[in-house]
Amino acid sequence: MLDDHALVQALNSTPVADGRSRDLWRDDREVDRWAREHGGLGGDGERRWLRTARDALQAVAAGAPAEPRLRRVLAGVRKVPRPGVSGIEWHLEVPPERRLAVELVLAWADVEERMPGRLRPCENPECRLFLVDRSRANTARWCSMKTCGNRLKARRHQARTRETPRPE
């Protein structure tokens, strides 16, 4: 099963660089590389489902309703309990080309259940990345303090400096 790190990697596969949005998963080799790193096989069907799941999850993580967007990915999927060595093991019944996309949705659901409200988009309006806030106070606002956080703080400081009248 995928974890929250794999989820964030997938969500963050459409970064903004130099003011332009890029889709790293537009390149089939890049999607296949990510899929193989996470137990997938690659191939047309798996790529299509991964892109569909990623796009739906980006919208949901940004505040869109989950049900209509995730319905297609999860249609007909079953999670079946089976006795195993250490108790009950859950087995996913899903076509092979859709398995990784479904696991991506389940990783999102797990984060939402274990850490409600902690998966969110970066507060930099020019950024398209997501973060899982692991801070105790749940106050993380940016995907990276080094990039987005510093840029926005510097902009706010410059704006305040311009607005503050200078003594004559």
pLDDT digits (tens, 9 = 90+) for 112-165: 999 999 999 998 888 889 999 998 888 887 787 666 855 555 555 556 666 666
Which of the two residues, 62 and 34, has the higher pLDDT score? Answer: 34
Dihedral, CA of residue 33, residue 47, residue 10 and residue 6, to nearest 10: -60
| Out of 9-13, 21-25, 157-161, least confident range | 157-161
Distance CA 14, CA 21 (A): 7
Q: What is the pTM of this model?
A: 0.84
The pLDDT of residue 137 is 87
Q: Taking a C-beta distance cutoff of 8 angstroms, is the pair 117, 138 a contact? A: yes
CB 110 within 8 A of CB 119: no
Q: Give dist(CA 166, CA 88) in Å, integer.
A: 70
pLDDT tens for residues 30-46? 999 999 999 999 999 99
For the chain, give the percent of residues with pLDDT over 90. 68
Residue found under tokens 């902009």: 155
Residue 26: C-alpha distances to residues 31, 84, 91, 100, 110 (Å): 8, 39, 30, 17, 27
Which of 112, 114, 115, 152 is closest to 135 using CA atoms?
Answer: 115
C-alpha pair distances (Å), 105 with each of 2, 98, 160, 162: 9, 11, 42, 46
How far apart are alpha carbons 69 and 92 in whole angstroms? 20
**Cα Rg, the chain, nearest whole Å:** 19
Domains of the chain: 4-163 (1.10.3300.10)
